[in-house]
Amino acid sequence: MIIISTSPAYGHKLISHDGSHIDFDSALQIPDHKISWAIYDNLGVSETKFYKFDAKADDSFYASIVIPKLEGLENYSPSLVLMNDDLFTGETSSLDIESNIQKFLYEGDYPGNEFYEPFGQVTYWERQEVTTTIPADGEYFILVLDEKNQSGKYALAVGTIEDFSGSDFF
């Protein structure tokens, strides 16, 4: 029996990991920042998780953080940082460092807008959503970090293009 659906599939491709992406050297690779990816993760008190991707100048970039609707996470809001690799390549002066780092904080009300994700059957609270343009070719890092002495769970979504091939279903 062959079943063909004409309904589109909405959702992100999952990037699985072992939780070891805790510094720049071990950053979790995002294969293509334009494709819609989801990374489900935990963050400890004063911890930072690192993700990396390659991008070209003028690429659009999208990322968001959502928090699972769980007791104790109502006010949880990790920070999201986007930065390029100029700090490591020596291609920037100390005066330019701040222009190469963008920090995005959640500035809404708590616990935040809710949405239900039907594939995972989980309700989430929305946090920060980032849409920007990549300024130059290079390697970029996304950092998700705790600056409020909190720990919790989050999902990081990157990209907007939904691209599911047959191998994604097996």
Residue 121 above 50 pLDDT? yes
Residue 14 in domain: no
The two three-digit tokens of residue 19, written as one number: 């939780």
Residue 78 in domain: yes
Beta strands at 13-14 and 37-43: parallel, antiparallel or unpaired: parallel
The predicted structure's pLDDT at residue 118: 87
Residue 168 above 50 pLDDT? no
Residue 18 in domain: no
Range of the domain at 85: 34-162
pTM: 0.85
Residue 102 in domain: yes
Residue 11 in domain: no
What average pLDDT does range 33-46 have in this prediction?
A: 95
What average pLDDT does range 123-151 have in this prediction?
A: 95
What is the full DSSP assignment across 45-61? TT-EEEEEEEE-TT-EE
Instruction: Name the domain count of the chain.
Output: 1
Residue 170 in domain: no
What are the Cα distances from residue 122, in Å, to 74, 91, 98, 125, 142? 15, 43, 37, 10, 24
Residue 79 in domain: yes
Q: Given pLDDT bands bounded at 50, 70 and 90, which one contains residue 24?
A: very high
Listed in sequence order, the residues at least 6 apart from 99 whose beta carbon sits closer than 8 Å to its beta carbon are: none
CATH of the domain at 97: 2.60.120.380
Measured distance CA(100)–CA(143) in Å, rounded: 13
**Residue 34 near residue 141 (C-beta atoms within 8 A):** no
Rounded mean pLDDT of the chain? 86
Residue 20 in domain: no
Residue 132: closest CA among 84, 170, 82: 82
